[in-house]
Copies of this chain bind each other. A is one copy, B any other.
Amino acid sequence: MKTVNTISEARDEIAGWKEAGHSVGFVPTMGFLHEGHLELIRHAASENRRTAVSIFVNPTQFGPNEDFESYPRDLERDLELAKEAGADLVFAPAASEMYRGTPAVTMKAAARTDVLCGESRPGHFDGVVTVLTKLFHILQPDRAYFGKKDAQQVAVVKGLTDEFFFPLEIVPVETVRESDGLAKSSRNVFLTEDERMQAPKIYKALQAGQRNYEDGFHAESAKTEILRHLAEIEGGETDYAEILQYPELVPVTEQSREIIAAAAVKFSGARLIDNIIWTVNKGGN
């Protein structure tokens, strides 16, 4: 595995792969890799001849009151883990390499951003689409891998690549869960023992919402069902629960084909998010 810090070195490496006709998988990360990232890297490595991983804590996707400075970093450990998971190249640039003064052109995520977690993070997804456009141009992947755990990010990224016809495929990768259904997350370690016992109820609430929706195709009723289940979580305060059309993240209509049920719950030491996405199947067609 090779590690490079400059765009020019990354381009050289990718050019060699392209010349040899190798397919390229790409996993963008902000480092401090956990099981979710490694699953993405393994997926990329299994579907492409070469796999590139970026490790870049992107300043433009943090709000002024967010934790950019204190965001955890451990490059040495990340490199070890990325290599084990199957990465061939790690691109770990400095912020000054990716952002060179006042931007001549800017990007704005104009849809899919004012719901779910995006509602409380104005500008966050502008930073996401900006840095991904740069990374896609530098690493020129055939496929880029994103975890479904952050379904809104997947939706915004699909919006980006569909809107501008990027020559690559976005591959959403299934959320990895503990045996009791709790979605894996670095934040789970911040839960108390009691909270850890309660946390799987988020997933169960979403599943109940899906069943309710499939019974009557009433989004409001399904949302109420999720909220009812979330209210039973001891020590957890519901932040939001939504049933929306996916990936547009707009209210469900008769025409909606893919549906997302998503929720966020605040515990004493961590705010957990989860979601499930399914395809509507009316009358077995």
A residues apposed to B, CB below 8 Å: 7, 11, 19, 21, 100, 102-112, 129, 133-134, 137-138, 140, 156, 159-160, 162-167
Chain B residues with CB under 8 A of A166: 137
Residues B156 and A104 in contact, CB atoms below 8 Å apart:
yes
Q: Which 10 A-B pairs have the closest CB atoms?
A: A104-B159, A137-B165, A104-B111, A106-B110, A104-B163, A105-B160, A106-B108, A105-B163, A133-B164, A138-B165
Chain B residues with CB under 8 A of A111: 102-105
Residues A160 and B104 in contact, CB atoms below 8 Å apart:
yes
Chain B residues with CB under 8 A of A21: 19
Chain B residues with CB under 8 A of A133: 164
Binding site of A, secondary structure by majority: helix, strand, loop or mixed?
mixed
- For residue A155, which residue of chain B has the nearest CB? B104
In the assembled complex, the Cα of A106 lies from the Cα of B126 at a distance in Å of 10
Q: In the assembly, how many copies of this chain are there?
A: 2
Chain B residues with CB under 8 A of A137: 164-167
Given A133-B164, A137-B165, A104:B108 Cβ within 8 A: no
Chain B residues with CB under 8 A of A138: 165, 167
Chain B residues with CB under 8 A of A102: 110-111
Other than A102-B110, A138-B167, give 7 A-B pairs with Cβ distance below 8 A: A19-B21, A102-B111, A104-B112, A104-B160, A105-B109, A105-B159, A106-B107
Residues A108 and B105 in contact, CB atoms below 8 Å apart:
yes
Residues B107 and A103 in contact, CB atoms below 8 Å apart:
no
In the assembled complex, the Cα of A159 lies from the Cα of B100 at a distance in Å of 11
Residues B104 and A107 in contact, CB atoms below 8 Å apart:
no
Most B CB within 10 A of own CB, among A103, A156, A162 = A103
What are 7 residue pairs bridging A and B, where the CB atoms are less than 8 Å apart in the complex?
A11-B167, A104-B156, A104-B160, A105-B111, A108-B108, A134-B164, A137-B167
Q: Which of B105, B109, B129, B156 contacts A110 (CB 8 A)?
A: B105
In the assembled complex, the Cα of A140 lies from the Cα of B80 at a distance in Å of 34
In the assembled complex, the Cα of A21 lies from the Cα of B160 at a distance in Å of 28
